Amino acid sequence: MEAMKMLLVDDEERFLSTTRKLLARKGYDILTASSGIEALETLKHKTVHVVILDVKMPGLDGLDTLRAIKSNHPLVAVIMLTGHGTVESAVEGLKSGAIDFLTKPTEIDDLIAKAEEAFAMRQRLEEKIRMAQTKKFMRSPREIIKKAKTP
Amino acid sequence: MARKVQSHYSRIRKYILTSMILVPFIPFVLILGIGYFYFTTSLSNSSIASMHRIVEDHRQMIESFLMERKSDLDLVLHSHSFEELSQTEKLNRVFNDLKRKSYAFADLGVFNDSGVHVAYHGPYRLAGKVYDEAPWFKEVLNRDYYISDVFLGYRRIPHFIIAIAREENGRKWVIRATIDTFMFNNLVRKVRIGKTGEAYILNKSGIFQTDRRSGGNLMDKDPDYAQYPQFHSDIKTFINADASGKNYLYATTWLKDKQWLLVVRQEQSDAFRALKTAVYLSVIVAAVGGITIVGVAFYLTGRIVERIKQSDLEKGRLQEQLIRAGRLAELGEMAAGFAHEINNPLQIMKSEQALIEAILTDLMERGHLHHSEDLSELEESIRQIAFQIKRCSEITQAILKFGRKTKPELQELELQHSIPEIIDMVRKKADVHGITINQKVSEAAPPILADPSQLQQVLLNLFNNAIDAIIKQHGSAGGQLVIEAKPKEDKNVEIRVKDNVCGVRPENLKKIFSPFFTTKPVGEGTGLGLSICYGIINSMGGNMEVESEQGVGTTFTIHLPAGA
């Protein structure tokens, strides 16, 4: 089974480095980006399954970055990380295509659990896509014959 | 401060009172004064005028009486010769003719130029007497006619004489008639004005020519005569005090070639009695009117000032509420921003703490670290850091909740259902601690407009606060929680949550809705609960108050608008 690739986006460098170290110890390999732009850049070149995205960032903020990710990489699962202890900003994210949300300060274990969940969903989705494509291939010889019969 | 407010109200009171008394008083006094002036003037004028009239009438009557008697004699004198009248027979006839004209004639006599009483008709035997030395005789020879003052003469009856002279054949002769003043006296005495009005005649020396009703006999001297104005033409009115000090209103006129003075007088108090009544009435009206004005002014002023005080109080309370609400909103906004900023460093701390823990675990697993006291102290310290981070994050969560501006979704809510539901949520906790919950939700309470979940949050908060306080004071027996809901007259519904805990201290009562204010020990409360409640109730268009009586209990009162 494919290993989960995470991208953590936050403007706090120390949070990025500490979390990366922490997750590495728990056996996860993660990428980090300190801004929305950098995150989009990374996504272009690297395979990423789950993005954990801070809502409040200077420059391109969390919601804008989310919309850009969803239009360019619809299959990437995004989990919003909100500083507000409330649902409002998270709801906005969920409406724009985020799969889940976390509130700061969040437990590392919660983060892992939600990421795994999102990854599993994505895996299932990819499985479905694969299955659909396989069906298409299986159907095609008959169609070829059909086409051959007709003059 | 209180004294300043007091003086402020007493100033308003003084101002209103002064204007309310002065404004009606000025026209009132003016009207009364003008009315009084014109009324009394016209009254005294009419009193004086009526005396004037009487004097005038009587002068004419007396003058014409005298003139008539004189012309009667004139007629006799000129229609008969001296010889004719010297005969007693003839004189008798003539006298009887005269008597038919006027009963006043008492006798009639004829005199020759040497003053000898030639013939006489009358009750006395006067014929033959000589009068050439008598002053009247000298006078009549001189001026052809003479009217005497009143005298008593031999007869001791008041009378006066009229004598007229005629020249015949170069010799003068005289007829003289005595006029009984009885009639004359009556004529003047008949005058009556009011109670004390009277008329009388004085001669030039102030001797009474007629009786005076109020005392003053014929032929006596009027003691006040010297004070009368002397020799004026026409009618004179004046006020004079008599010997006894009584003031009289006088009207006088001269008669009979200024020989006699006709006096009409009336006691001033009598003459002006109507005036006195007018004065009394004016005084009574002024007193009653004045008292009424002052009374009404005091009453109205009292009420107005009371109203002002009340509305000021109301205004003050409203302002206080507005300020508090505004301050809370500001604080909420600030706190939310602040909490949000704190969450980022908290997140890092949490990660760091997790990393330390992970590293420690790794080290131990790899055998780099051995169990020791220091190690367990380190672990304990790390756990403590985790605990404190958690505590911080709880605070920031609460602050964010407080600062959150969610619009309440108002809907009609029946308190008869929702209050028991909310009570059920805390019933178990209450039962465990022996707290009796007494709910009185009036059936008359109309549905209110509120956000159900927010109202639930507020009420739960109040219930829990009350229960916590009860447990702290009463332990597990004797606690009482009363929840009431009833309609108010201003289309509001009132919800009261009442406990029987010793109460909140007055200085704390003021701050009870302020954020972060708590009397609970550190770590047990953020001090945000009640200010959140307050904000919620405000945003639903209601208000929230607290009262507390030391040793009795604390009551939270919520007013919420009733649904349409």
Q: What is the pLDDT of residues B455-514, one digit of tens each?
A: 888 898 899 888 888 888 877 778 888 999 988 877 889 999 998 887 788 788 878 887
B363 contact A CB<8A: no
Contact call for A104 and B352, based on CB within 8 A? no
Kindly report the number of other CB atoms within 10 A of residue B250's CB atom: 21
* Predicted local confidence at residue B538, as pLDDT: 83
**How many Å lie between the alpha carbon of A131 and the closest alpha carbon of chain B?**
40
Q: What percent of chain B has pLDDT over 70?
A: 96
B386's CB contacts (< 8 A; 6+ apart) are B350, B353, B357
Which secondary structure element, helix H or strand E, spans residue A132, and what is its range? helix A108-149
- The domain ranges of chain B are 1-271, 275-403, 411-561
Count of residues in chain A: 151
Contact call for B354 and A14, based on CB within 8 A? no
* Predicted local confidence at residue B350, as pLDDT: 92
> Can you identify the CATH homologous superfamily of domain A5-124?
Response regulator (3.40.50.2300)
Q: Is the pTM of this model over 0.90?
A: no
Contact call for B352 and A18, based on CB within 8 A? yes
Residue of chain B minimizing CA distance to A22: B355
Q: Which two tokens stand for residue A82?
A: 């909100």
Gap between the terminal Cα atoms of chain B: 43
* Predicted local confidence at residue B91, as pLDDT: 85
Residue B6 has pLDDT above 90, yes or no: no
Q: Which residue has 């006894």 as its token pair?
A: B244
**How many Å lie between the alpha carbon of B408 and the closest alpha carbon of chain A?**
14
Count of residues in chain B: 564
CA distance B472 to B500: 12
Which secondary structure element, helix H or strand E, spans residue B364, and what is its range? helix B273-365
User: Can the peptide bond before residue B345 be classed as cis, meaning omega within 30 degrees of 0?
Assistant: no
Q: Which residue has 């004085």 as its token pair?
A: B202
Mean pLDDT of B261-282: 83
* Predicted local confidence at residue B246, as pLDDT: 83
Kindly report the number of other CB atoms within 10 A of residue B216's CB atom: 17
Which secondary structure element, helix H or strand E, spans residue B497, and what is its range? strand B492-499
The interface predicted TM-score of the complex, written ipTM, equals 0.81
Kindly report the number of other CB atoms within 10 A of residue A55's CB atom: 23
Please indicate whether residue B231 or residue B145 has the higher confidence score (pLDDT). Answer: B145
Which secondary structure element, helix H or strand E, spans residue B154, and what is its range? none
B532 touches B401 (CB < 8 A): yes
**How many Å lie between the alpha carbon of A82 and the closest alpha carbon of chain B?**
9
Mean pLDDT of B362-367: 88
Q: Where are the beta strands (DSSP E) in chain A?
A: 5-9, 29-33, 50-54, 77-82, 100-103
Facing residue for B346 by CB, picked from A14, A104, A108: A104
B101 touches B72 (CB < 8 A): yes
Facing residue for B401 by CB, picked from A19, A26, A85: A85
Which secondary structure element, helix H or strand E, spans residue A58, and what is its range? none
Mean pLDDT of B298-321: 88
Contact call for B348 and A12, based on CB within 8 A? yes
Residue A78 has pLDDT above 90, yes or no: yes
Facing residue for B347 by CB, picked from A15, A26, A88: A15
B401 contact A CB<8A: yes
Mean pLDDT of A4-30: 92
B212 touches B197 (CB < 8 A): no
Fold for the domain defined by B1-271: Beta-Lactamase (3.30.450)
B252's CB contacts (< 8 A; 6+ apart) are B55, B228, B229, B232, B235, B236, B238, B261, B262, B263, B264
In eight-state DSSP terms, residue B204 is T
| Residue B524 CB-density burial (10 A; 0-12 exposed, 13-18 middle, 19+ buried) | exposed
CA distance B501 to B106: 123
Q: Which residues of A touch B (CB under 8 A)?
A: 12, 14-15, 18-19, 21-22, 25-26, 56, 83-86, 88, 104-108
- The domain ranges of chain A are 5-124
**How many Å lie between the alpha carbon of A113 and the closest alpha carbon of chain B?**
15
Q: Which two tokens stand for residue B274?
A: 């109507």
Fold for the domain defined by B411-561: Heat Shock Protein 90 (3.30.565)
Q: What is the pLDDT of residues B102-133, one digit of tens each?
A: 888 888 888 888 888 888 888 777 777 888 78
* Predicted local confidence at residue B405, as pLDDT: 58
* Predicted local confidence at residue A86, as pLDDT: 56
- Chain Cα centroid distance, residue A17: 20
What type of residue sits at position A132? A
* Predicted local confidence at residue A38, as pLDDT: 93
Q: What is the pLDDT of residues B191-209, one digit of tens each?
A: 787 788 888 888 888 888 8
Facing residue for A106 by CB, picked from B341, B347, B406: B347
Q: Which two tokens stand for residue B241?
A: 């005090």
B343 contact A CB<8A: yes
Strands B105-111 and B171-180: antiparallel
Backbone φ/ψ region at B258: left (φ over 0), alpha (ψ -120 to 50), beta: left
Facing residue for B355 by CB, picked from A12, A18, A83: A18
* Predicted local confidence at residue A68, as pLDDT: 93
* Predicted local confidence at residue A44, as pLDDT: 93
Q: How confident is the model at residue B86 (pLDDT cuts 50, 70, 90)?
A: confident
A53 touches A62 (CB < 8 A): yes
